[in-house]
Amino acid sequence: MAADKGVYIVTGANSGIGRAIARKLALMGLPVVMVCRNPEKGEEARAEISSGAPGMVELVQGDLGDVEGVHRLAAELLRRQKRIACLINNAGIWMQRREVNADGLEITFMVNHLAPFILTNLLLPRLKENAPARVVNIGAGLYVFGTADPERTPSGLDFSRSRTYADSKLCSLLVMLETARRIDGTGVTINAVHPGVIRTGLGDGPGPLGLLIRLMKRFASTPEQGADAPVWLATSPDVGGVSGKFFMLRKEGKLTDTARNEALARSFWDLSVRLGKIKDAP
Q: What band does 1 get if pLDDT is binned at 50, 70 and 90?
A: very low
27 contacts 51 by C-beta, under 8 angstroms: no
Q: Quick one: average pLDDT of 195-215?
A: 63
| pLDDT for res 246 | 98
- Residues 152-187: tens digit of each pLDDT: 999 999 999 989 999 999 999 999 999 999 999 999
| pLDDT for res 8 | 98
111 contacts 140 by C-beta, under 8 angstroms: no
Which residues are tagged catalytic?
Answer: 165
Q: Residue 254 pLDDT more than 50?
A: yes
Tell me the pTM. 0.93
Q: Quick one: average pLDDT of 116-132?
A: 98
Mean pLDDT of the chain, nearest integer: 93
